[in-house]
Amino acid sequence: MQRINEDIKSGNLKHLYLLYGEESYLRRQFLDKLISAILPEKDSPNVSVFEAKDAKPIEIMDMAMTMPFFSDRRLIVLKDTGFFKSAGDKDRQRLTEFLSKELPDYLYVLFSEDEIDKRGKIYKGVSKTGTAVDFARQDEKTLGKWIRSRARQNKIEISERVCDRLILVVGNDMSTIACECEKLFAYVGEGTTINEEDITAVCTPTLQNRIFEMLEAATDGNRSKALSYYEDLLSLREAPVKILSMLGREYRLLLETKAMAQEGYGQQEIASKLKIHPFAAGKYRLRQRNLSFEYLKESLNEVAEADEAIKTGMIDEKLAVELLLLRP
């Protein structure tokens, strides 16, 4: 990302860029930056955009070989083509060969892809002649700074702890966070401070967070609340087998957290070893204190037995999860 910013600032733009990775929000931001830097007029006849199934190699090649109209530059933007996931046919191979060589002075090509295979010829060719940038998920510290910056722009304050809570509830996808921030900013208004109660009131939690709340209710002995959470998940068309699998994950994380806590590991160390958000590690540390090793091991076994019973047709999948939530 820094490399792209430096290229734009210096005006030394490459003729070929590949933007890839999970963080689609950042990819869109930097794609727009590059488009504006190469050809500021987005409605220019010299800008061609190909998306997914519309991205046919032969048409892209034809456009690439067409001289720009009353301009020094022609820009081709390719989004989610899937070209970087498989070798493709002869036309794809021709395009790969074309991109693996030095492009004409007038031509600029931008790729934005979710998934790529770095072993493929097209990736190796693009990396050789252009610039490939990985837009991975951002860490919590970076996301926290970004959230606080957005809040300050709206004359709103939010603490580091509340940022952590927001990320835990809504996840680490920047597009989702941006939408939830807009809801929060509108809810609290200028000149105020966002607190955890505001997040609870306004934000839509991730599936994982909903599963944990259901598990909390079940382990507190509040079976009616646990079943209510379960019905909510079913109304959102979440499959019982998926819910069962995620329940198993939560029990496993609780068991591993309990073992590490007894060995003296702190919250940050547990988060690092389990590769989870520190705020989540704190929740698991609190929850495991009232649950024994025997209970957690038994819970994991019951999840495995329920999964086997569903797969062998011995029990209805919806009922299997209900029985787990009703266990003492």
* pLDDT, tens only, 231-281: 999 999 999 999 999 999 999 999 999 999 999 999 889 988 998 878 788
pTM of the model: 0.78
2-134 folds as Rossmann fold (3.40.50)
Q: How confident is the model at residue 83 (pLDDT cuts 50, 70, 90)?
A: confident
Does residue 214 carry a pLDDT above 90?
A: yes
Closest alpha carbon to 48 in 37, 32, 59: 59
Residue 325 burial class via C-beta count within 10 angstroms: exposed 0-12, middle 13-18, buried 19 and up: buried
Residue/partner pairs of 275-284 with CB below 8 Å, 24 or more apart:
277/140, 277/164, 277/167, 277/168, 277/172, 278/140, 278/164, 279/164, 279/165, 279/167, 279/168, 280/168, 281/257, 283/168, 283/212, 284/253, 284/254, 284/257
Q: Which of helix, strand or coil describes residue 287?
A: helix
**Domain-wise residue ranges, the chain:** 2-134, 140-202, 207-326
Q: List pLDDT tens digits, range 302-321.
A: 999 999 999 999 999 999 99
Give me the DSSP letters along 141-180. HHHHHHHHHHHHHTT-EE-HHHHHHHHHHH-S-HHHHHHH
Does residue 97 carry a pLDDT above 80?
A: yes
Beta carbons of 324 and 248 less than 8 angstroms apart: no
CA-CA distance, 176 to 162, in Å (whole number)? 16
Closest alpha carbon to 14 in 129, 113, 118: 129
Beta carbons of 241 and 309 less than 8 angstroms apart: no
Q: Tell me which H or E stretch contains 19.
A: strand 16-20
DSSP 8-class letter at 20: E
Q: Tell me the mean pLDDT in the region 198-209.
A: 93
Q: List pLDDT tens digits, range 21-52.
A: 989 999 999 999 999 999 887 668 899 999 88
Residue 268 burial class via C-beta count within 10 angstroms: exposed 0-12, middle 13-18, buried 19 and up: exposed
Phi, psi of 244 (to 5 degrees): -60, -45
**pLDDT at position 40:** 83
Q: What is the CATH number of domain 140-202?
A: 1.10.8.60
| Top-confidence residue, 154 or 87 | 154
Strand order in the sheet with 74-79: 47-51, 74-79, 107-113, 16-20, 131-134
Q: How confident is the model at residue 168 (pLDDT cuts 50, 70, 90)?
A: confident
Closest alpha carbon to 146 in 166, 122, 120: 166
Q: Which of helix, strand or coil describes residue 104?
A: coil
**pLDDT at position 42:** 64
What is the assigned CATH class of domain 207-326? mainly alpha
Closest alpha carbon to 252 in 212, 309, 225: 212
